[in-house]
Amino acid sequence: LPVPIAVFFLLYKERMVPCFNGSSHPLLSADELALETRPGDKDELSTAGQRPHTAAGHEDLFSCCQSKNFRGASYTYFAVHITGALVLFMTDGIVGEYSGFVYSYAVEEPLSVVHKVAGYLPSLFWGFITLGRLISIPVSYRMKPATMVFINVVGVLITFLLLLIFSSSVVFLFVGTASLGLFLSSTFPSMLAYTEDILQYKGCATTVLVTGAGIGEMVLQLLVGSIIHDRGSYSFLVCGMIFGCLAFTFYALLVFFHRMYPKPSPEPDEASPDKAAAPEDTGQYQR
């Protein structure tokens, strides 16, 4: 409860709550934020401070859903959002369904693992997810997000394939569970970073990706549970393999749309050294 209360207080102070934006003052205005990032532009900030405060993205909670933000957007803009959300729909769905049903799969035929031993599988899975997220922090400094997502998706696919091949091996079930946790651990943050690179960080992209991941984690558990009930425990691995193939397919489509997405035109920075050096050199020659 303290976390959502604190977030609501920040939204209230930033005038992002439509019903309660009358008397509150933002914690940090757009001019002060620019001063923090670019302390040399004090003259511009002083003149900008006289203009009305209209910070983009801080109008209200639903400002990113307004139709004016989508005017002139290419179809690849929407395709990047959709394919990125579908990748997370599958990968986060695999996290939910695997952690929820790996115990049930282990205790039934043909493995028939002892209940106490099978109880270690979900803990092993989540433990290696935590370990993978710790490992991915230094790795992300040396590897691009697109490469990390590719390795994760391919690793999930290969792990499920090996689990199907060695479906009667209890030892490999533990090895595959640990491997699956490692590969799934950094998929979500790497996908967020990848779409941020493509779209130059649009707030709506984060909303779409988080929503897709949450829906996938909810829907795939329900789907896999009903399939296991009707078809038996072996369908647990078959479903995981299918979801892994779909995740790889959606990732390939995301890379395809990334290559087609128009790159933003570079705008010259007013505070760049090259631009500032030109008038000085010209002035010296004039003297």
Tell me, what's the pLDDT at 200? 73
Look up residue 46 and give its two tokens.
Answer: 């002083």
Look up residue 133 and give its two tokens.
Answer: 């997220």
Rounded to an integer, the average pLDDT of 104-110 is: 88
Whole-angstrom Cα distance, residue 60 to residue 200?
21
Q: Sketch the domain layout of the chain as residue ranges.
A: 91-260
- Given a cut of 80, whether residue 222 has pLDDT beyond it is yes
Tell me, what's the pLDDT at 284? 46
- Given a cut of 60, whether residue 34 has pLDDT beyond it is no
Sequence-ordered list of residues with C-beta below 8 angstroms from that of 255, at least 6 positions apart, any chain: 146
The predicted-structure confidence for 117-149, as pLDDT tens digits, reads as follows 999 999 999 999 999 999 999 999 999 999 999
Whole-angstrom Cα distance, residue 57 to residue 206?
13
Whole-angstrom Cα distance, residue 165 to residue 51?
67
Most confident of 1-5, 65-69, 224-228: 224-228
Coil, strand or helix at 145: helix
Tell me, what's the pLDDT at 14? 80
Give CATH superfamily name and number for 91-260.
MFS general substrate transporter like domains (1.20.1250.20)
Residue 72 DSSP label: T
End-to-end CA distance of the chain: 67
Whole-angstrom Cα distance, residue 248 to residue 90?
9
Range from 183-192, 198-207, 226-235 carrying the lowest mean pLDDT: 198-207
The predicted-structure confidence for 251-273, as pLDDT tens digits, reads as follows 999 999 888 877 655 554 444 44
Quick one: what percent of the chain has pLDDT higher than 90? 48
Residue 254 · residue 83 · CB < 8 Å: yes
